[in-house]
Amino acid sequence: MTDDYHTTENTCVVCFKNVVFYSIGECDHPVCFECSTRMRVLCLQNECPICRQDLARVVFTDTILPYKELRNRVFTDRQFERQFKIGFCSDEIKQAYDFGGIYDAR
Ligand SMILES: [Zn+2]
Ligand SMILES: [Zn+2]
């Protein structure tokens, strides 16, 4: 069986840290929300760090789901970042994004 790829690992393929929340776009490659935020918000790059596909928008989620399912969710104004086109599946994730310290120059 080759599909324990996703179930045993919840390490981000970009930064190798443990993923708290995932960022998933059209290509269904999960990366951690911190890497995704860094790329979209700080570097203004919308492409997937894995396959370089341009992602019109991404969804931050705590569970890996196909993007097709995530896209069908209705996001309230509060749970959608219009400028960077990021949807948040919960208030908790939105808060992590707001206070995540990604604006710290570490
Ligand atoms: Zn990462
Ligand atoms: Zn991708």
Which tens digit of pLDDT belongs to each residue from 51-105? 999 999 999 999 999 999 999 988 888 899 999 999 999 999 999 999 875 555 4
pLDDT at site 10: 87
| Mean pLDDT across 34-50 | 96
The amino acid at 12: C
pLDDT at site 106: 42
Residue 86 lies in a domain: yes
Domain harbouring 12, CATH code = 3.30.40.10
Residue 9 lies in a domain: yes
Cα 31 to ligand 2 centre (Å): 9
Cα 41 to ligand 2 centre (Å): 18
Residue 10 lies in a domain: yes
Residue 104 lies in a domain: no
Residue 30 lies in a domain: yes
pLDDT at site 26: 97
Boundaries of domain holding 36: 4-99
pLDDT at site 74: 80
Residue 105 lies in a domain: no
Distance CA 23, CA 73 (A): 15
Higher pLDDT, 52 or 7: 52
80-81 and 58-61: which strand pairing? Answer: unpaired
Distance CA 106, CA 104 (A): 6
Cα 89 to ligand 2 centre (Å): 20
Q: What is the CA radius of gyration of the chain?
A: 13
The total number of structural domains in the chain stands at 1
Residue 46 lies in a domain: yes
**In what helix (H) or strand (E) does residue 98 lie, and over which residues does it extend?**
helix 91-99
Class of residue 100 by CB neighbours under 10 A (exposed 0-12, middle 13-18, buried 19+): middle
Cα 104 to ligand 1 centre (Å): 16
pLDDT at site 25: 97
Residue 106 lies in a domain: no
Cα 86 to ligand 1 centre (Å): 16
pLDDT at site 37: 96
Which residue bears the tokens 């400028």? 83
